[in-house]
Structure 1
Amino acid sequence: MKPKTKLVQTANGTNYLVPFVLITTLFFLWGFAHSILDVLNKHFQDALSISKTHSALIQAVVYGGYFLMAMPAGEIIRRYGYRTGVITGLILYGIGALLFIPGEQIMSFPFFLFSLFVIGCGLTCLETAANPYVTVLGEKESAERRINLAQSFNGLGWICGPLVGGLFIFTTNKEESSVAIPYAIIGTLVLLAAILFSRIRLPEIKTEEPVTAAQTATKRSLWSHGNFVFGLIALFFYVAAQTGINSFFINYVTEQTTISAREAALWLSFVGMGLFMAGRMTGSWVMGFVRSERLLASVAIGGILSMIIVIAGLGKISIGAFFFCFLCESIMFPTIFALAIRGVGEHTKRASSYLIMSIVGGAVAPLIMGYIADTVNTATGFIVPLICFAIITVFALYLQKH
Structure 2
Amino acid sequence: MKQQTPAQPAYTGSLVILTSLFFMWGFITCLNDILIPHLKAVFTLSYSEAMLIQFCFFTAYFLVSVPSGYLVEKIGYKNGIILGLLIAGCGCLLFYPAAGYRCYALFLMAFFILAAGITLLQVSANPYVTALGKADSAASRLTLTQAFNALGTTIAPYFGALFILSGAVKTADDINLLNAEELLAYQTAEAATVQIPYLGLMALLLLMAAVFARLKLPVIASQGLKSGSTASDSQPSAWHYPHLVLGALAIFVYVGGEVAIGSFLVSFLGEPSIADLPPAQAGKYVTFYWGGAMLGRFAGAAIMQKVSAVKVLRFNAIAAASLVILSLCSEGPIAMWSLLAVGLCNSIMFPGIFSLAVSGLGVHAGQGSGILCSAIVGGALIPLLQGVLADQIGIHQAFWLPVLCYSYIGYYAWRYPALLAAGKA
Give the deviation of 1:10 after TM superposition: 7.3
CA, structure 1 residues 165+211, in 2 after alignment: closer, same or farther (shift >3 Å)? Answer: closer
Q: What CA distance in whole angstroms lies between the structure 2 residues aligned with 1:143 and 1:26? A: 17
Structure 1 residue 184 corresponds to structure 2 residue 179: no
Q: State which of 244, 255, 260 in structure 1 corresponds to 2:260.
A: 244
Residues 4-31 of structure 1, C-alpha deviations (whole Å, 9 max, x = no match): xxxx9479x9983233222222111111
Match of 1:254 among 270, 285, 290: 270
Superposed CA offset, 1:78-113 (max 9, x none): 222222222221111111011112222111100100
Distance 1:395 1:74 in 2: 27
Kept after mapping to 2: 8 A contact 1:275/1:326 = yes
Give 1:47's aligned residue: 42
Using the alignment, how far apart are the partners of 2:110 and 2:355 within structure 1? Answer: 31
Please tell me the root mean square deviation across aligned C-alpha atoms, in Å. 2.4
Give a deviation string over 1:164-219, Cα, whole Å, max 9, x none.
2111111236758711122111111111111222223243141225667x75xx77
Q: How many Å separate the matches in 1 of 2:229 and 2:139?
A: 20
Q: Secondary structure, in 3 states, of the residue corresponding to 2:270?
A: helix
What corresponds to 1:5 in structure 2? none
1:284 to 294, 297, 301: 301
Number of positions where the alignment pairs a residue of Structure 1 with one of Structure 2? 390
Shift in Å at residue 39 of structure 1? 0.8
Q: Is the 8 A contact 1:341 1:348 kept in 2?
A: yes
Other structure's SS at 1:43 match: helix
Structure 2 residue identity aligned to 1:257: A
Indicate which of 229, 246, 266 corresponds to 2:245.
229
1:294 aligned partner? 311
C-alpha spacing 1:189/1:34, structure 2 compared with 1 (3 Å): same
Q: Give the C-alpha shift of residue 43 in structure 1.
A: 0.5
Cα 1:141/1:33, change in 2 over 3 Å = same
Residue 66 of structure 2 aligns to a residue whose secondary structure is helix
> Which runs of 5 or more residues in structure 2 are unaligned?
169-185, 421-425
Q: How far apart are the structure 2 equivalents of 1:94 and 1:67?
A: 20
Partner of 1:135: 130
TM-score (normalised: structure 2): 0.85
Tell me if structure 2 keeps the 8 A contact 1:231–1:395. Answer: yes
Distance across 2 between alignment mates of 1:199 and 1:298: 45
Deviations along 1:67-86, one digit per CA (max 9) or x if unpaired, are: 11111101112222222222
More off after superposition, 161-170 vs 345-354: 345-354
2:76 equivalent among 81, 101, 111: 81
Cα pair 1:9 1:15 within 8 Å, conserved: no
Aligned to 1:151: 146
Alignment check: 8 A CA contact 1:134 1:147 kept: yes
Runs of at least 4 residues of structure 1 off by over 4 A?
173-177, 209-212
Whole-Å separation in 2 of the counterparts to 1:57 and 1:353: 24
> Residues 209 and 343 of structure 1 are in contact (CA less than 8 Å); yes or no, is this contact kept in structure 2?
no
1:315 aligns with 2:332: yes
Aligned to 1:325: 342
Q: Secondary structure at the match of 1:16?
A: helix
Rate the CA distance shift 1:342–1:62 in 2: closer, same or farther, 3 A. Answer: same
**Corresponding residue for residue 106 of structure 1:** 101
The secondary structure found in structure 2 opposite 1:171 is coil
Answer yes or no: is the 8 Å Cα contact 1:292–1:335 preserved in 2.
yes
Q: Which moved more, 1:55-64 or 1:176-185?
A: 176-185
- Cα 1:92/1:326, change in 2 over 3 Å: same
**Aligned position for 2:174:** none
Identity %: 33
Which digits, 9 at most, give the CA deviation of each residue in 1:17-60, with x for residues without a partner? 23322222211111111111111110011111111110000000
**1:289, CA displacement in angstroms?**
1.9
- Cα drift, residue 224 of structure 1: 3.2
